[in-house]
């Protein structure tokens, strides 16, 4: 298999990666045939997967603009993935010049590509680290250089918590991060769920099995389980809602039933 120039040495390009599959759904070019094959297999069960990913990115952009409008100028995006059009740093820095953005991901392709995209941007950086080890993230020199935890931060966990199994204690990791944030910080989450999907759960499980096969289990949580991540935060209106319903830009923003899958919300630390 030909290794493209953007693929860091040492990564196994015969194994699919969640962030490269996501990149494919969004129409990006940083994916391999093995990723595209996994994506197409999942889409046989859930044809609306690209639509879900687009709705997720659109929610992310609205939430970043909201945070910037609320006066927040620091963004910590964990599980940031491969940069695509309308990234956090682009949205944040156009809404609030000088905003500082720290990306965190454990996928080497995502980190390498982010490094290339951010070259020359003094106010944005990327670090290779894992959400399951919050202290490593918070103690990393890159994070400490860019992010002042004594000031409000927008903490983004967008489409990442559903890749953390209960055995790895996602609630504990989220609580550790929350405790490190200053009052007035915002917590931005989107999460996959069987609730709201426009197809029977049995069929959706076929797509979930594809993620299990590529050793990246997708943990579908209920609205109640997703709401638990917001303990210690006050929910911002309209609360925890289907992705397309979180402060849409227009009344009939998205008629595609898949864009109402999963849950999205923003909390504020008191």
Cis-peptide, bond into residue 168, ω within 30° of zero: no
Please check the confidence at residue 252 and state whether its pLDDT lies above 80.
no
pLDDT of 250: 82
- Say what the pLDDT of residue 108 is: 87
For 74, 96, 244, the CA distances from 70, given in Å and listed in that order, are 12, 10, 21
> Quick count: other Cβ atoms within 10 Å of Cβ 268?
17
- Structure-token match 């983004």, residue found: 156
Tell which residue, 184, 163, 193, has the closest CA to residue 78.
163
Answer whether 32's CB lies under 8 Å from 19's CB.
no
Collapse the DSSP code of 147 into the 3-class scheme (helix H, G, I; strand E, B; otherwise coil) and give the result: coil
Those residues whose C-beta lies under 8 Å from the C-beta of residue 205, and which sit 6 or more positions away, are 45
pLDDT per position as a tens digit, 36-88:
999 999 999 999 999 999 999 999 999 999 999 999 999 999 999 998 878 99
Confidence check: pLDDT of 179 > 80: yes
Give the pair of three-digit tokens for residue 233. Answer: 């935060």
**Averaged confidence pLDDT in the chain:** 94
Domain range 18-269, its CATH number among 3.40.50.620, 3.30.420.40, 3.40.50.1820, 3.40.50.150: 3.40.50.150
CA-based angle 159:261:63, to the nearest 5?
Answer: 50
Q: Please answer whether residues 72 and 48 qualify as being in contact, where contact means their C-beta atoms are separated by less than 8 angstroms.
A: no
Three-class DSSP category at 226: helix
The residues that bridge with 84 in the sheet, in sequence order, are none
Domain coordinates of the chain in residue numbers? 18-269
| Secondary structure of residue 248 in the 3-state scheme | coil
Which pLDDT score, from 0 to 100, does residue 253 have?
Answer: 61
Length of the chain: 270
Question: Which phi-psi region, left, alpha or beta, contains residue 98 (left: φ > 0; alpha: ψ -120 to 50)?
Answer: left
pLDDT for 98: 96
Identify the residue with better confidence: 116 or 219. 219
2: Cα within 13 Å, side-chain hemisphere: 2
User: 133: alpha, beta or left, given left = phi > 0 and alpha = psi -120 to 50?
Assistant: beta
Task: pLDDT band for 254, please (50, 70, 90 cuts).
Answer: low
| Cα gap 128→220, rounded to integer Å | 25
The pLDDT tens digits for 114-169 are 998 899 999 999 999 999 999 999 999 999 999 999 999 999 999 999 999 999 99
**From CA 165, how far away is CA 218, in angstroms rounded?**
8
Whether the predicted pLDDT of 193 surpasses 70: yes
Q: What is the pLDDT of residue 240?
A: 98
pLDDT in the model for residue 188: 98
The distance of Cα 211 from the centroid of its chain, to the nearest Å, equals 16
What is the reported pTM? 0.95
Give residue 1's pLDDT band: very low, low, confident or very high (50, 70, 90). low
As to burial, measured by CB atoms within 10 angstroms (0-12 exposed, 13-18 middle, 19+ buried), residue 232 is middle
What are residue 32's phi and psi, to 5 degrees? -110, 170
């Amino acid at each position: 298999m030909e290794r493209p120039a953007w693929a860091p040495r040492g990564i196994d390009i015969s194994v699919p990666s969640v962030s490269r599959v996501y990149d494919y759904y969004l129409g990006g070019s940083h994916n391999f045939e093995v990723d595209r094959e996994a994506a197409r297999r999942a889409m046989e069960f859930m044809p609306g997967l690209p639509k879900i990913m687009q709705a997720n990115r659109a929610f992310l952009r609205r939430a970043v603009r909201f945070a910037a409008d609320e006066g927040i100028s620091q963004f910590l995006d964990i599980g940031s993935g491969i940069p695509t059009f309308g990234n956090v740093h682009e949205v944040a820095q156009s809404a609030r010049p000088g905003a500082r953005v720290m990306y965190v991901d454990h996928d080497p392709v995502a980190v390498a590509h982010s490094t290339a995209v951010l070259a020359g941007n003094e106010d944005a950086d990327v670090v290779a680290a894992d959400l399951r080890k919050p202290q490593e993230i918070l103690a990393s020199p890159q994070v400490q250089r860019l992010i002042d935890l004594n000031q409000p931060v927008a903490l983004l966990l967008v489409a990442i918590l559903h890749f953390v199994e209960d055995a790895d204690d996602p609630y504990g990791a989220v609580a550790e991060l929350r405790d490190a944030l200053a009052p007035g910080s915002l917590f931005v989450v989107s999460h996959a769920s069987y609730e709201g999907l426009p197809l029977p759960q049995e069929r959706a499980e076929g797509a979930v099995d594809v993620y299990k096969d590529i050793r990246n289990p997708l943990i579908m949580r209920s609205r109640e389980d997703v709401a638990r991540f917001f303990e210690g935060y006050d929910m911002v209106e309209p609360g925890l809602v289907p992705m397309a319903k979180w402060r849409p830009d227009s009344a009939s923003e998205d008629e595609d039933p898949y864009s109402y899958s999963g849950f999205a919300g923003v909390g504020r630390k008191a």
